[in-house]
Structure formats: C-alpha cells, structure tokens
Structure 1
Amino acid sequence: MPIIGYSINRIFVDTKTRSSDYKMTEPHVHNHFELFYLSKGSCTFFMNPHFYNLVPGSIIIIPPNTPHSIHYTSKQQSVRTSILFRDEDIDCPKMKFIYEKFVSDRKKRYIMQIPPMYQIHVEQLIRNMEAEQRLNEDKISPAMLSLCLIQLIVIVNRFSTGINSDLMDDLHTTNRQVNLAATFINKNYNQRISLNDIAEVSGFSPNYLSRKFKEDTGMGVHEYLTFIRLNKAAIELAHTDHTITEVALNNGFSDSNYFKDAFHKAYGMSPRDYRKKDSPAESHSIF
C-alpha cells in the first residue's frame, strides 16, 4: 500500500542530498502537485506503472494522487529538489497556456530534460525560492514563491526537451504494432538495427510504420531510437570509466563523431564535459 502524504496550504521547497543508501521503502501519494528536479547524480524514479532513469537536469511534474518513489543510483551523492504546489499557486490569467499544459490534465505525466546551459537558471530560481521560504513573511512570501514557480515553469516550457513519459521505457499506445516497434527498440537499441528491422517486428511496412509511429507518439522512429541511445549513453558516462568511443559503441552508435554531435545537440555539451560535471571533483553541493 502506498504511503499517503500530507496536505499543503502554500508552495513548499525542499532540497536534499541523497546517497545510494537512501531507501524509500514504499511508493507514496499526496493530493498536490510535485515538481521534482535532479541537479546532481542519478536516480530511478517510479511513477506508477513505469520506471524512469533520471540524470542531472531531469524534471518530472507529478500529478496529485499518483503513486511514486525514488531509488538513488549514483556513485556520488545526488542532489534533488522537490517543489510542492497546488493549482491555485500558478493560477494567473496570462499563464493559462502553462496551466492547461502542465496542470489541467491530472492524468498526464511530464518528464523533461533541461540542457546544461539552462540548468544554472533553474537552479538559481530554486535558490531564490529557498531564500524566500526562509524569510516566511505572511503575505509577501507566498506571492514571491508563486512568481518564482511560474517563472521556473516558463523556463522549463521554453528550454526543456519535452519527453512523453509514456515513451521513456515502454510507449503507451493503443496501437499494438507501434508498441511492438517501441519494445523492439528498447531491447535492441545497442545493436545495429534499421527501420526495416523494426518494421518487420511490427508487421507494418517501413513507410507506414514511420507515419503511424509519428502520429501516435509525436516522435519519429529514428528520433525515438536516438533518444533511447543517448539516454542510456548519458547514464553510462556518469557511472563508468569507459572511453567515449566505448560508450558510443555500447549504445548502438557506429560512429563516435556522430555520437558526439548528437549528444551535444541533446545535452548542450560534449560527452567529455558531461562526464566531468558528475565527476568527484565536481561533486560538491550547489546548495
């Protein structure tokens, strides 16, 4: 049984440093939204019924009453921030598009990745919110926290790479053939697989699969394959001493230069710089 969380009457910000020894014994739920941001380390995030591997810059917006739990996996300590909020905390006439995208559909899960070049802006806003929370002025602090949260969500909306949560490990689609194709990609991303290979498993022709996959998921087949490979490569970079070429080959990239270009495009930095960001020399807390 999930643990039932508490209720809140204002925005609450909580930043913690966690080691891999930290255990959340059971999933929990609460009746408010949670914005979860990982600034350092890595973790496996369970949000019923899926598991997601998160890396620095990952953001999840968790709807109310959604069972979730976390297991931290980094060799170094992880730093996470949890921002709890209610519908009314971001209710603003000019923010209607944000409300409709992130809040109105309580069954939708949002998993996003902030490129490294913009993570500093997100983390500065979090520090501002923590400072305001410490001031705790009766009327001004709730308003300032709401303004900061709205600004944070706008930045996430503008600069993040939106990831359909149902595509992270196992696409959720009513189309069985598309699901077969996605499952095949997830199991064989580290092999040399072609559109023809994927189409053969699905039972569709290559052209029809490409069109149907895009219609159902919002991603092209090759785009999804590259996303899975890059996500797995980022985890390997953070947790092994493998060379860049080895990481590329281990995750299905036959050309290390292409891997470097694709990685830089997705994460805003080279694989080497990404690894340095999670190295012991950089492991001090930013908070």
Structure 2
Amino acid sequence: MDYFYYTYKHNHIDFSSHIYKISTYHYNWHGETEILILLKGKIEMSCNSEVFTMEPLDSIIISPQVGHATLALEEDTTALVIHVGKEFFQQFDPDFGMYQFVIRSDKSNRHNPFFTSLRHHAAMMMLIKSNGESPINQMWLEHHYLALASEVYDEIDAVKSIHVHSKPVDMTVATFDKMIAYIDKNYQQKIELEDIAQIGGYNVNYTSQFFKRQLGVSFLEYLLRMRLREATVRLANSDDGVAHIASSCGFADIKAFNVAFKKHFHTTPSEYRKQAKELGRKTKLHDWKEIISTQEEDIVELLQSCLPYEHDSSYKLKLEEANQKLQVVREQLESVVKKLQS
C-alpha cells in the first residue's frame, strides 16, 4: 500500500512532503521552511508564542527554527505539509537563514490569488508523486515545486524580519532542543519543571517563562499533550486496555486520564477508540504522525478540488479585455451623443 509520504532531491531541488492525520499534539523545531495546508477539520496552532485556530483550506508558512505545534480540535483532522530543504532558498539568497517570518491565511484571505495558487501547486505535487516515477512526472513535479517556491519567496520577501541576536541570558536553540528532547523521551515518567531547568542550567522561573514564550503553552500543558498524543495513537492502533494505556503514557491513574481526555476531546477514551475504528482510515505511523494512504478517496478528491485556479496573469488579461471593450462602448456612446447634438 502506498502512502502520501515523499522525499525528493534532484540538483538544487530538495523537499519532503506528506499528508497526515493531526492528533493531540505535535511539536516541531527544525531547519526547513514549513508549508502546512489544512485539508480537513480544525486545529489550534501555537507558533512564535501566538496561539490561533486554522480552518479547512487555511495555510501557514513558517521560517526555520521557529517552534510550532498543532492540536486537533475535531475528529479526522488532516493536513498537507511540505518541508523545503535547508539550503534551497539560501542558494538564491545567502541571507535567507537570518530571516524570520510567519505567513498565514484566515477567512479574510484564504481564497486570495496567492493562497489559492499555493494550494494548487501543493496538491499537484502530491498527486504527481502518487502517480509514480517517470521522466514527465519528474519534470511536472519540478515545475510545480519551483512555481510554488518562487511565489512563497515573493511573499516572504515582503514581510520578513531579521533575527535579532539572542541576548546572553537567552537560551540557545541547542539548549532548548535538549530540554524538549528530554521531555519527548521521558514523558511516560514523572517529570518536574525543576528537572527541565537543571538540564538548561537556568532557574525554574526563567525556564517556565521561556517555555511559555517559545511554545505558547506551559511546561505542564506541553507534557500533558505529549502524553495524550501517545494515548490517542494507541487507542486508534492497538487493542490495549484503557487503564494500561493510561499508566504507560504517564498518567497517575485512569481517573486522571479520563478527566484530561474529556477536557481536550469532549469524549471518553473508549468512545474515541470506537470512532477511530469506525472511521477506518488507512494510516501508518512515521515520527509519531499517522500518514494517510493514497487509497483514501476523500483525500484525493480534496486534492483535486484544489486544482482549478487562474493565475494572476489570466486575471490581468481578462481585465485588459474588459477595459478595451469598455473603451469601445464609451467611444460609441460619445459618437451617438455628438450626432444627437448636431
């Protein structure tokens, strides 16, 4: 069975792409430029200490090394993600590594020419890759990738800011990575904020403030979401008992698990499992992400629905034609008025 998970590297082109089911919480901090397009459902996005909601067809473009996390607010929430290789934009703009940007859509602009074109090229890339390898497919893939990348860079260039050098008291990327890595590895065990502060070599208050500023959520909320993330994956992909899942994911007891689960998902773990089984979506786990199968017809239809669009140039051409017609009508009217006046 094939899945919507691809990597591509040819000459100066370097990217990876996938379509996955967003579950409870997934935190990212990486060196690639990320493009995320929400296909189904609704998510809470934490990015640059800002927390906001994304709805179907919304898109976000995030600069490298910016911490961000997604939380599903509805069942069967699905997103398309493209990671642009670390060196790609820097080949054309040596200063690209210093830029910071977050470009996102909302109800006011999700259907404007840029975001419509972005969805078109991203969907084409996924559909082309799912059709197999061939010289013509490779050429069309690179065509759509370069069109997407050039339009994205144009938007970035208009809003980018330059990274301000960290102050001596600020945590480095490497230090924060160690703290996150420790939580990701040990969240099934009891972890205190003091443990995390000790790893970074900072006091507890400063660690707490930095954590909230960087992720948009507190240390305890992040830890809880990590535990819930594993629990939802196990509920959907195993037959383990609910009590066993609760204890193995780091919850003190099944009551604490049920309360937290109900608060975040407005349903019980048992009901969540039942709904996941009934949905029966074909997925596979990769880096804690449930990657969607290329056989899921509704996802293919969503991609195909993003294909029809008109480029800016077609709008300009139609506008020029309309203006020309309007000019002809205006001249005809002026001619009629002159005859009536004579």
- Higher RCO by CA contacts (8 Å cutoff, separation 6 or greater): 2
Question: Normalised by the size of structure 2, how large is the TM-score?
Answer: 0.40
